[in-house]
Structure 1
Amino acid sequence: MSAATNGPALILIGPPGAGKSTVGHLLAAAWGTTFRDTDADVEAAAGRSIPDIFIDDGEEVFRALERTAVATALAEHDGILALGGGAVLDEGTQAALAGRRVVYLSVSLAHASPRVGLSGNRPLLVGSPRRQWQVLMDARRPVYTALASVEVSTDGRSPEQVRDAVLAEVALP
């Protein structure tokens, strides 16, 4: 797997409920580095939660904040980086991920449902959460697959087992 010479040691992508943040923290601890989540960066920059941004300003404003957060993290962060589930849909982000260590944490709807809780905390899953999650995945799966050098399924695995599976696939930087 090729890797950019600067920027994050590893980038995690995948849908809501895949465990990017949980596994990212475990990988950072295993590699003795730091963890960063672009969703947290967006919330910090906006001073409010992602659901509030969606409700008050709409998805377009959120996506603009997200693009900035991803570009900044790719330039500044050298540890483990988790991207928000939809960040990969931006063409600029896709181009910026080329040549980097990208791992797609995949998860089925059956396993994502209890993790996500299918609550109002996920703005794109409002209405019929299970159906919306499936629609999102149908659109995003080809992008996740194309961007990642490695895919690790999180179905039926503990976060520690997922960490170990990633470590088995990706050499330390």
Structure 2
Amino acid sequence: MIVLVGFMGGGKTTVGRLLATRLGLPFVDTDDVITTRDGRTVPEIFAADGETAFRDHEEAVIAEVLAGPESVVSLGGGACGRVGTRERLAGHDVVHLRASFAETQRRIGGDPGRPMLARPDLAEIYTARQEVYASVAGRVLDTDGRSAAEIAEFLLAAPVPTHPTEETR
């Protein structure tokens, strides 16, 4: 199981699809699972039920996906904020696709499908989440200036580290 984590706009979904295709594995985007099951978009869930309810559902979906068949998984940008999710990631090949804050903003612009963009403290959230991603990832890959294909190829060629804090650049 390869699990991609990182801030929104880091390339998790795009790189994940490429990795899954190359490896002959299913690709699972946990946000897609949630919206398919719920019948609403992420912004609709946030607006109607609030972020806490969304995160509860997200944590349950992640637990199910991680217990399922081998796949490439993309987690939502805030998913690692839950202790239960962080604990479930232990033992999996977790890759932090790290993009600078400026790069994530360039990539996602004003995407209305991302309710977190409306937060006035978005830069602070980005900074705080970097520590969380680092705490769960066995590999870190800087994505600024790299195409999704380059990132996927690099991850396929790089051996999975034996030490959980080893970084890949």
Identity in percent? 39
After superposition, give the CA deviation of every residue in 1:141-168 in whole Å (9 maximum; x if it has no partner): 1110111110011100111011122123
Contact 1:10 1:81 in 2 (8 A): yes
- RMSD between superposed Cα atoms in Å: 1.3
CA distance in 2: counterparts of 1:135 and 1:107, whole angstroms = 15
TM-score calculated relative to the size of structure 2: 0.90
Unaligned runs of 5+ in 2: 161-169
Give the match for residue 156 of structure 1: 145
Q: Measure, in 2, the Cα distance between the counterparts of 1:103 and 1:160.
A: 16
Q: Is the 8 A contact 2:93 2:138 kept in 1?
A: yes
Runs of 4+ in structure 1 over 2 Å off: 168-171
Deviation at 1:123, TM superposition (A): 0.9
Shift of 1:55: 0.5
Query: Which secondary structure does the structure 1 equivalent of 2:67 belong to?
Result: helix
Deviations 1:77-106 (A, max 9, x none): 311011111110100011111121100000
Amino acid at match of 1:141: Q
Does the 8 Å contact 1:150/1:169 carry over to 2? Answer: no
Residue type of the alignment partner of 1:138: T
- Structure-1 separation of matches of 2:8 and 2:73: 15
- In structure 1, the partner of 2:96 is 104
Instruction: Give the alignment of 1:129-140 within 5 angstroms.
Output: 132=122, 134-140=123-129
The 5 A counterparts of 1:32-111 are 32-111=24-103
State how 1:2-21 maps to structure 2 within 5 Å. 9-21=1-13
Contact 1:11 1:101 in 2 (8 A): yes
| Cα displacement (A) at 1:119 | 2.9
Report the number of matched residues. 160
Aligned-pair distance for 1:14?
0.4
Among 17, 22, 26, which residue is 1:25 paired with?
17
| 1:166 maps to which of 149, 155, 162 | 155
Gaps in structure 1 of 5+ consecutive residues:
1-8
Structure 1 residue 54, shift from structure 2 partner = 0.4
Displacement after TM superposition at 1:127 (Å):
4.8
